[in-house]
Amino acid sequence: MAGPGLSVAQARAGPPARIVVETRASAPAPGGHRSSKSGGAEFAYLARLMAPTTRANSGRGAAARPLSPAEIERFHRDGFLGIPDFTTPADVLQVRQIVLDLYARFHRLPPRHVLDLGEVGRHAGPQQIPEINWALQLAPELKQTRTFARCAAVAEQLIGCPMGHTGYDHAIIKPPHNACATPWHQDRVFAGDAAPLVSIHFWIPTHDVSIEMGCMQFIPGSHRGPLLPHRRKDLRAHAKEAEGVDTSQAVACPLPIGGATVHHSRTLHYTGPNMTDAPRIAWSLEFAPRLRERMSWRSLLRFRG
């Protein structure tokens, strides 16, 4: 077991965790439902969380705890780290409000931004795992949050050089009882050839998150292994699943509000179906060494002949 995570085998063994469903549960087929183009009716399960839009100070300026040497070592050994006190609850609530404002117009956003990570990638019916890609382009105010600043600072501490946002981020919701997991995968498989060699990826739930709700799970050390073959379960699906994963090694990272996980782009990870009555709402973003540093590294290689 690594870090503050919980070995899934241990969680299965009994209290306090309940049974973990690791295989992708069969879900009601999406589509065939009447489309709710406004997004309003479909996302009614979010209504309770919606607050009048506020841009209150979320504590961006407050001093943040640097990672300990043990945490940095654990990240490099395991390829992931759970950080329970990543940011403040007030800040995360601000992130959540911005994300919810985007979901309120989900079906009206440009198609390149929206996908269902469930069984069918693109359809107009109720979404199993609605995803908004490049949320930062749609809501640049996310960059003003303490969460964003913390990601940059923690990335620099972990990798040891100035780090910048790669330009990619996404918000992912698992509706209550969505009956659909995000399959085991390595993010690197989705990156094109131009992707940086090293990138690290943050996952920020906007509330307490448990195994039953679909917290992150990782295979420790998998970032040092090969990129596994991935396949789509169905031609209509967007999500890809890694083949040959030994899930007996999985470590789950339940977190309190304000917590986050960070993982290497090659680390195998998964989130289970949301088996609770509450929606699971997360924001995820990627950081890599800044281009300036990548360029100077290349020119150093050139001059070393």
Q: Which of 6, 172, 250, 275 binds ligand AKG (CB under 6 A)?
A: 172
Q: How far is the CB of 63 from ligand AKG (least distance, A)?
A: 28
Residue 87 has, within 13 A of its CA and on its CB side, a CA count of 29
- For ligand AKG, give the closer residue by CB, 276 or 293: 276
- For ligand AKG, give the closer residue by CB, 37 or 231: 231
- For ligand AKG, give the closer residue by CB, 210 or 284: 284
Q: How far is the CB of 224 from ligand AKG (least distance, A)?
A: 18
Q: Which of 67, 284, 288, 289 binds ligand AKG (CB under 6 A)?
A: 284
Q: Is 94 in the site for ligand AKG (CB under 6 A)?
A: no
Which residues in the 252-281 window bind ligand AKG by CB under 6 A?
269, 271
- For ligand AKG, give the closer residue by CB, 7 or 133: 133
Size, binding site for ligand AKG by CB under 6 A: 9
Which residues in the 174-203 window bind ligand AKG by CB under 6 A?
182, 187, 203
Q: How far is the CB of 270 from ligand AKG (least distance, A)?
A: 7
Which residues in the 233-252 window bind ligand AKG by CB under 6 A?
none
* Interacting residues toward ligand AKG by CB under 6 A: 172, 182, 187, 203, 214, 269, 271, 282, 284
